[in-house]
Amino acid sequence: MSGYERRALVASPTAPAQAAAAELADAADWVDVENADVVIALGGDGFMLQTLHRMLERRTSPTPVFGMNLGTVGFLMNEWRRHGLEERLARARPFQVTPLQMTATGIDGRIHTLPAINEVSLLRETRQTAKLEVMVNGRVVLPELACDGILCATPAGSTAYNLSAHGPILPLGAGLLALTPISPFRPRRWNGAILRDQARITLTVLEPAKRPVSAVADQREVRDVAQVDICMDRARELTLLFDPEHALDDRITMEQFLG
């Protein structure tokens, strides 16, 4: 037995995910997510992020999630198979993922606190270049960064937007964060930094009225920010389950050898 006796099934609204959910409808006595020992998520990486954020919103400890890919990339997912779910859950390897916490202060003074599993990104809202002050652990490390934006990625998110912005791939469990500029103009040769995950990062928007910037925690956006504080939220650790032959740490490692 897998130890996950009470199972919930959630699926993306896409046609392939809904068809797969229909195939699994009679495979178990499914329960609500709130009462489940494990959540089976059908969809792509975007839907997996939505499901994980749903876990973070619960007052109890987040429920482990076993995803099956019915999307495009499926980096956070296992292979879709209709049969053998019981055996797969029994063999699944758990991986703990610690989200970031973004505290964004708007130019209107309002404060927004949001979690991010992959990354927190700051992006210019207009054709005007963003100008940011970068502070790490209370020390100003870049008085002025002129850029399209900047992002802070977790190891789980380091192969997503961070990699597209030419940031480093971080091994899972390395205790590191990637701080990566997006199209930096000045200093042009600054390629970013690798920080310990105990770091507290403060990004202050310079000239926020003239050069407005938005802050995005995964898929949730706060516009017209004046300052963004980022740190790890160790009180809300998530658990992802993977087939041993498709484990998340192996996938992250192999991404470093792909062209």
Residue-wise pLDDT tens digits, 210-254: 999 999 999 899 999 999 999 999 988 999 999 998 888 888 888
4 labelled ligand-binding:
no
pLDDT for position 59 = 63
- Are 227 and 105 within 8 A, CB to CB? yes
Catalytic member of 32, 45, 224, 229? 45
Distance CA 24, CA 10 (A): 11
pLDDT digits (tens, 9 = 90+) for 133-162: 999 999 999 999 999 999 999 999 999 999
Residue range 7-98+237-255 in CATH 3.40.50.360? no
What does the angle CA 197 – CA 147 – CA 225 come to, to the nearest 5 degrees? 70
Cα 117 versus chain centre, distance: 3
The pLDDT of residue 250 is 85
Q: 1 pLDDT exceeds 70?
A: no
Q: Where are the domains of the chain?
A: 7-98+237-255, 100-235
Q: Is 46 annotated as a binding residue?
A: yes
The answer to whether the annotation marks 162 as part of a ligand binding site is: yes
Dihedral of CA 103/177/206/129: which sign?
A: negative
Quick: pLDDT tens for 40-77: 999 999 999 999 999 998 767 789 999 999 998 888 99
Catalytic, 108? Answer: no
CATH of domain 100-235: 2.60.200.30
Q: How many residues are recorded in the chain?
A: 259
